[in-house]
Amino acid sequence: MNIKLLLEDFCHYAKYMRAVSPNTINRYRQQVSYFVEVSKTSDISAVNKKMVHSFFLHGRVAKNWSTATYRTYYMTLIVFFRWCMEHEYMEENFVESMILPKQEKSLPKALKKQEAFKLLEVVYNYPYTHRYLRSRNHAIFSMFLYAGLRKNELLNLKLADVDIENFTIFVRKGKGNKDRIIPMSHTLAQSLDRYLTERKKQGKTCPEFFTSSNRNQGFTVSGLKRLTTRIRSASGIDFTIHKLRHTFATLMVEGGCDIYSLSKMMGHSDIKTTTIYLSATAEHLRSQVYKHPLNIRTFV
C-alpha cells in the first residue's frame, strides 16, 4: 500500500477522530513525507527495521538533528506506524525498538527587562507610513510580552476574544486544543484600546482581532514574519516570537508570580514544564536565597 495514500487517511483520522490541531497534522504530513524521501520507499510493506534505524541515523549525522527534533520525528513515526498496524498494513512498529534520547534540559532564552522595554519603544517609534501600523504593531508585541501568547494563538484571536472592559483574553483551542483565559494588565489594555480605536477608523469588519493593513482580513503568518524581521533589524535585538513568550514567563517569575498561576496563563498541560522558569531567572533565585534563616545574623 502506498505510504502517501495511507498518510492522507491517517491525517483524516487524526483530524476528525482525535481532534488533532492543524499544526500537528502539518507536522505529520511533512515528517512522514520526509521519511519516504530519505528511505526511498513508497510502499508500507517495504518498511523494515534497518530502514527506520538508518533514517534516524541520517537525521542525527547528516542533518545534525537536535534531541528535540529527533524526539519529534520519533513521536510522529511511532504514531503513524501504530495506526498502520491497527489497520493491518504493518506487522511491527519498528520505531518502538529505537532508543529515545533524553530531552536536553537547557534553560529557555529570554530578553532582559531593559531589552523588552527597548523592543516596545522601537516598535512604537518606528517610522511607519500610517498611524494604524504603529498602533497595531505595538499591540501585537505587547500581546507577546504582556500575555505570553504563542504565534498561532495571536493570529487566531477573534475580536470577541479580547475583552478590554473586563481585562481578559480568551484563547480558543491553543496548543493541545485547550481553551484558556489570560488576565490582561492595564498597560496591555491601553495598547489594545489604542489599536482598536485605529482599527475602527480604518473600517475593519473582519472577525480576526489583528488585521492586515491594506485588506479587511486577518493578519497573516508571512506578515508577522516580515514585521519581526523588520523590528529585529531596527532594534538590534536578537529575538524570536517564542523568545518573547519565554520573556513573559521569566519576567512574571521575577515579579513574584506563582508557578501554578503562570502555568495556567501559559497553557501548559504539565506544571513541570513551567517550573523550568524558576531556574531561568537569577533575580528570582537571588530573592529566594535571601530567605535563608542564617541571613538574619552577621559575624564580625
Residue 183 lies in a domain: yes
How many CA within 13 A on the CB side of residue 51?
A: 17
Residues near 7 by beta carbon (within 8 Å), at least 6 away in sequence? 28, 29, 32, 33, 80
Residue 164 lies in a domain: yes
Residue finishing a domain among 51, 67, 97: 97
Residue 299 lies in a domain: no
- Residue 66 CA to residue 183 CA, distance in Å, equals 35
The confidence score (pLDDT) of residue 186 equals 96
Measuring CA to CA, how many Å separate 271 from each of 187, 257, 258, 265, 279? 27, 14, 11, 11, 14
141 lies in the same domain as 275: yes
Residue 16's CATH number: 1.10.150.130
Residue finishing a domain among 65, 97, 129: 97
- Residue 76 CA to residue 102 CA, distance in Å, equals 17
C-alpha cell at 1: 500500500
Contact 195, 138 (CB under 8 A): yes
Residue 225's CATH number: 1.10.443.10
Provide φ and ψ at 162, rounded to 5°. Answer: -110, 110
Residue 223 lies in a domain: yes
- List of the chain residues with pLDDT < 50: none
138 lies in the same domain as 47: no
The confidence score (pLDDT) of residue 191 equals 97
Residues near 130 by beta carbon (within 8 Å), at least 6 away in sequence? 213
Residue 218 lies in a domain: yes
Q: How far out from the chain centre does Cα 75 lie?
A: 18
57 lies in the same domain as 152: no
The confidence score (pLDDT) of residue 283 equals 63
Q: Which residues of 180-217 are buried (b: 16+ CB within 10 A; e: fewer)?
A: bebebeeebbebbebbbebbeeeebeeebbbbeeeeee
69 lies in the same domain as 135: no
149 lies in the same domain as 273: yes
56 lies in the same domain as 170: no
7 lies in the same domain as 156: no
The confidence score (pLDDT) of residue 280 equals 61
139 lies in the same domain as 48: no
C-alpha cell at 157: 484571536
Residue 249 lies in a domain: yes
Residue 41 lies in a domain: yes
20 lies in the same domain as 140: no
77 lies in the same domain as 144: no
State which residues form the domain around 128.
113-288
Contact 31, 55 (CB under 8 A): no
50 lies in the same domain as 135: no
Residue 106 lies in a domain: no
Structurally, the chain folds into a number of domains equal to 2
- Residue 275 CA to residue 259 CA, distance in Å, equals 7
125 lies in the same domain as 20: no
Locus of grid cell 525498538: 97
C-alpha cell at 177: 486544543
Residue finishing a domain among 62, 97, 132: 97
The confidence score (pLDDT) of residue 226 equals 96
The confidence score (pLDDT) of residue 174 equals 72
Whole-prediction pTM: 0.75
Strand partners, 182: 169
The confidence score (pLDDT) of residue 284 equals 62
